[in-house]
A = this chain, B = another copy of it.
Amino acid sequence: SSSPCAACKLLRRKCTRECVFAPYFSSSEPQKFAQVHKIFGASNVSKMLQELPVERRRDAVASIVYEANARIRDPVYGCLGAIFTLQQQIAQLRKQLSAAQSEMVLLKFQHQHREP
């Protein structure tokens, strides 16, 4: 009765009540499914979703959409680009923290051995 989901529209097939994509890929956002299809392929994503309990599927779709977008934006590193950036931030923060801790040790030493 209703219009097919974005997946069934792209794949030109009938969208049934059992369609595994319909709850997550509305026909109003055709790009969302198109990107997932380009990177993972509809049948792989269908299998991935079917292997999960229904209540985990929305999170799985969100992460699959994120990964597909990341791979399209950065065809060499995909999600790994984000991981590298975060690792660099962590390295930078550790360096700052270590510098702050060294300075603190120095300040405490000066505080204890202060000249009157």
Chain A interface residues toward B at CB < 8 A: 38-41, 43-44, 48, 51-52, 56, 59-60, 63-64, 66-67, 71, 75-80, 82-83, 86-87, 89-90, 93-94, 96-97, 100-101, 103-104, 107-108, 110-111, 114, 116
CB distance from A39 to the nearest CB of B (A): 6
| Residues in chain B near residue A48, CB distance under 8 A | 39, 71, 75
Partner of A77 from B44, B63, B78, B114 at Cβ < 8 Å: B63
The 7 nearest A-B residue pairs measured at CB:
A86-B86, A93-B93, A100-B100, A79-B79, A41-B41, A63-B80, A107-B107
Partner of A63 from B40, B51, B63, B76 at Cβ < 8 Å: B76
Chain A, interface SS category:
helix
Interface centre among A79, A90, A116 (most CB of B within 10 A): A79
Residue of B nearest to A89 (CB): B90
Residue of B nearest to A62 (CB): B80
